[in-house]
Amino acid sequence: MAPIVSLILANLPAIVKSGQTVVEFVRRERTAMTQSGEWTDADERAFADLLVAAGRSPAWQQDK
């Protein structure tokens, strides 16, 4: 079974419950699915930087 199909099936309860997330869910997943090889060192660094930036973002901080 294609990965995207098994991914959708695994998430089907949440997708059906929400009613509008099938396309959004797949659109988000599709970006990741177009990956054809393992991350390079640069990809690893970019992801690590993304996590550091998120940790500093106000959106990730609890209410004062």
Partner 1 sequence: MKFLARLLARFVALCAVVTFTGCASLEPSADAVAVRAEQTVATAFNVFDAFLNLEHANRDLVKAKAPQVHTFAEWLREPVPENGAMVPRGLSLIQSANRVRLAYKSNRTPDNHASLQAALSALARAANETQTQLTALQTLTR
Q: Is 47 in the site for partner 1 (CB under 8 A)?
A: yes
Instruction: Name the H helices within 19-63.
Output: 21-33, 41-56
Structural contact between residues 33 and 3, judged by C-beta atoms closer than 8 angstroms: yes
- Both tokens of 31, joined, read 């970006």
Q: Does 37 bind partner 1 (CB under 8 A)?
A: yes
Among 41, 42, 51, 64, contact with partner 1 (rule: CB under 8 A): 51
Work out whether 63 is an interface residue with partner 1 (CB under 8 A).
yes
- The candidate with the shortest Cα–Cα distance to 29, out of 16, 15, 43, is 15
- Site residues for partner 1 per CB under 8 A: 2-5, 8, 10-11, 14-23, 25-26, 28-39, 43-44, 47, 50-51, 54-55, 57-63
